[in-house]
Amino acid sequence: MNLTHILTSRQNAAKRIPAGLALALATLVPFQFASADPILLGTASSFAILGGTAVTFAAPINTVSGNVGVSPGTSITGAPANLSLTGTIHNNDGVAAQAQADATLAYGAAAAAATTTTFSGTDNQLGGQTLVAGVYKFGHGDTANLIGTLTLDAQGVAGALFVFQATSDFITASGSNINLINGADACNIIWQVSSSATLGSGSFFDGTILALTSITLNAGVTVEGRLLAQNGLVSLINDTIINDGCEVGEGPGDHHTSVPDSGSTVLLLGSALLGLIALRKRF
């Protein structure tokens, strides 16, 4: 068989690849990559709560999964009386100091991320919106930045990253909620707050808060993620904080608000495999 015949055979084989298989293979590409570079938390990733000056746990009880720490402050009040902890307390030790240093670097990286969408004026209300992966910048909300439900849609992209840049304070209303769909994961949600954050009573919240100053939770808040404050305190009252220990970009995990993917990824994989089998049989 000469070279010309070999090349012609390969070209004809390429032409015989089913169109559906080619489309499936092409569509699979987005699932292999995250939407943006992750904001790495380093050793801070193991902390559910990290304060700069203090951490307070008010009665009756707060349930925390993950480490609790403070640095450079030394005040942790209400523990163990008002705390049910799965993790370790680090009171201004080397572990807490390193975690605070890593959280500070993560804060800077999140603040420097290239913004894809800027909300201004009355657009600072995130509630009622469905957002895809990106970097969102917003300022102070007249009442709150999140009232009702914010839906985050990863569109089936593994590791899809959502970064929110609050240029002032960040406030969620009582009973507010974050709904995760199509593979969105709390591990890949970062809230960079240039001032302080306040989460309303009875709300459900996903993601890591990196606050320059303080973080305050009202009663009955459930957070899947982390509360990391640089220069102020973290204050809780009858709240639940769940940190599954994942680093940004590692997800997915088993999360309370996550809606399963529609199955499109599995269908595409199946279609591609069937196409490859059929193609092999033809040759």
Q: What is the mean pLDDT of the chain?
A: 82
CA count, 13 A, side-chain hemisphere, 100:
26
* Dist. CA 275–CA 181, nearest whole Å: 29
Contact 241, 64 (CB under 8 A): yes
> φ and ψ at 3, to 5 degrees?
-65, -40
Q: Which two tokens stand for residue 143?
A: 């009442």
d(CA 219, CA 239) in angstroms, rounded, equals 6
pLDDT in tens, 156-180: 999 999 999 999 999 999 999 999 9
Q: Write down the pLDDT at residue 23.
A: 39
Task: Summarize pLDDT for 227-236 with one digit per residue, the tens.
Answer: 999 999 999 9
State the number of CA atoms in the 13 A half-sphere of 91 facing the CB.
Answer: 8
Q: Would you state the pLDDT for residue 159?
A: 92
Q: Choose between 84 and 258: higher pLDDT.
A: 84
Predicted confidence (pLDDT) at residue 245 exceeds the cutoff of 80: no
Binning pLDDT at 50, 70 and 90, where does residue 120 land?
Answer: confident
